[in-house]
């Protein structure tokens, strides 16, 4: 192993590059004055002296005086183990401090009740995550209905094998949709635990998919190269959109007679 490799390994124990170089140089030259160690390490004399004083404090170097000269002696390399023990002790303290402050950090992250909680997803897998978590949250919140409005042609282009999780969690739905195929979803309403109403695409050029359940809204877009979605958790916004949905639901009856 060459000097550079040794120095790199010593740095991993917690010394700086210059401290490691000075220590290796001190080991190589034996008891020596500052200048000789500086020459061996390739570091300026003044800097080497400061580093040697630091290494003395760490117990890795000792010094002795002979006549008018001060000699520095590298201590047994086994003393490097102290660096590991010191780091272990510091790590234990850091872990203890972290455990102490973690509840406060979690408290800082908590979103005020009056502020909507918004999450963004920008992939097909993200959309599936929205669908799954949305339905589970709706079940936990005790939602009586899931309300939806969708361009189903776009939706099934991206997700041809989609099966609604709301059937698994047992929540009925009311669903407004546009499709070039007409009102074809009504045939499966009973088995899908759903009420659906079709709207003509030419009069209502909806793009995307909107869901409301409990206090959460999910909005999906299929216009770009990748689908994207946003969820918003807000009691007030959800309440307002449910009211708008109800208006649209009643107005859609004329197209479904």
**Contact criterion met (CB below 8 Å) for 68 and 57:** no
pLDDT of residue 165: 64
Distance of alpha carbon 3 from alpha carbon 115, whole angstroms: 59
**221-236 pLDDT, tens per residue?**
877 677 788 888 888 8
Low-confidence ranges of the chain (pLDDT < 70): 109-115, 124, 161-166, 224
Here the CATH number for the domain that contains residue 231 is: 3.30.870.10
pLDDT of residue 110: 60
Q: For residue 247, give its domain range.
A: 117-255
Q: Based on the fold, state whether residues 241 and 189 are members of the same structural domain.
A: yes
Q: Based on the fold, state whether residues 246 and 132 are members of the same structural domain.
A: yes
pLDDT of residue 114: 63
Number of domains into which the chain is organized: 2
pTM of the model: 0.52
Backbone phi, psi, residue 195, to 5°: -115, 125
Report how far Cα 252 is from the mean position of its chain's Cα atoms: 42
Q: Based on the fold, state whether residues 136 and 246 are members of the same structural domain.
A: yes
Q: Based on the fold, state whether residues 53 and 149 are members of the same structural domain.
A: no
pLDDT of residue 246: 94
């Amino acid at each position: 192993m060459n000097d550079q490799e040794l120095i790199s390994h010593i740095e991993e124990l917690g010394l700086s590059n210059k401290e490691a170089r000075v220590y290796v140089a001190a080991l190589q030259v034996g008891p020596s004055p500052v200048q000789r160690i500086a020459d061996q390490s390739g570091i300026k004399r003044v800097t080497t002296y400061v580093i040697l004083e630091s290494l003395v404090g760490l117990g890795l170097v000792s010094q002795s005086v002979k006549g008018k000269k001060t000699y520095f002696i590298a201590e047994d390399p086994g003393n490097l183990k102290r660096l590991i023990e010191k780091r272990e002790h510091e790590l234990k303290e850091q872990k203890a401090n972290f455990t102490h402050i973690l509840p406060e950090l979690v408290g800082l992250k908590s979103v005020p009740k009056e502020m909507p909680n918004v999450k963004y997803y920008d992939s097909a897998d993200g959309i599936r995550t929205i669908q799954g978590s949305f339905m589970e949250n709706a079940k936990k919140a005790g939602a009586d209905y899931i309300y939806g409005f969708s361009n189903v042609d776009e939706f099934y282009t991206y997700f041809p094998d989609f099966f609604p999780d709301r059937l698994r969690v047992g929540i009925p739905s009311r669903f407004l949709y546009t499709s070039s195929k007409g009102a074809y979803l009504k045939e499966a309403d009973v088995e899908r635990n759903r009420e659906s109403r079709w709207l003509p695409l030419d009069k209502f050029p909806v793009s995307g998919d909107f869901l409301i359940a409990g206090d959460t809204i999910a909005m999906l877009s299929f216009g770009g190269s990748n689908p994207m979605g946003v969820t918003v958790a807000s009691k007030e916004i959800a309440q307002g959109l449910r009211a708008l949905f109800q208006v649209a639901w009643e107005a859609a009856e004329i197209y479904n007679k």
